[in-house]
Structure 1
Amino acid sequence: MSLAQANKNLKYDKRMTENKINAGEMTKEEWQKHLEQLPDLAHNVETFTMDGKNTKDDDNH
């Protein structure tokens, strides 16, 4: 993968967005629009307790 392609893949990387906004490479509006277009994946969440047990499994037993 080229460096240009790697940078393109990182455009919306959460760890990079603040720096990109501060450097003028991305606007806050562009970032917000990207966030609004992301799918809602809340149904894929798996909760767990601090002891590592899955709470869904605990409910079933």
Structure 2
Amino acid sequence: MSLAQANKNLKFDKRLTERNVTVGEMSKEELQKHLESLPDLAHNVEKFTIDGKNASSSSDESH
């Protein structure tokens, strides 16, 4: 893979988007359009507590 292709693949990488907007590699509007096109995956999250126990099974304490 060429460096140009690698940079293209990283254009919307969360760690680089602010830099890309700042240096003019993409507009804020282009970024916003991309973010709005992403699917909502909120139903795929798994809640947990700091102690590492699954929040949905907190009533299953066997200790």
**TM-score (norm. length: structure 2):** 0.86
| Paired position in structure 1 for 2:31 | 31
Identical-pair percentage: 70
Give the CA RMSD over aligned residues: 1.1
Structure 2 gaps of 5+ residues are none
After TM superposition, the runs of 4+ consecutive aligned structure 1 residues lying more than 4 A away are none
Alignment size in residue pairs: 60
Q: Indicate yes or no: 2:17 matched with 1:2.
A: no
- Name the one with the larger helix percent: 1
| Paired position in structure 1 for 2:47 | 47
Q: Which amino acid aligns with 1:14?
A: K
Question: Which has the larger Rg?
Answer: 2
- The whole-number CA distance in structure 2 between the counterparts of 1:4 and 1:54 is 43
- Report which stretch shifted further, 50-59 or 23-32: 50-59
Structure 1 gaps of 5+ residues are none
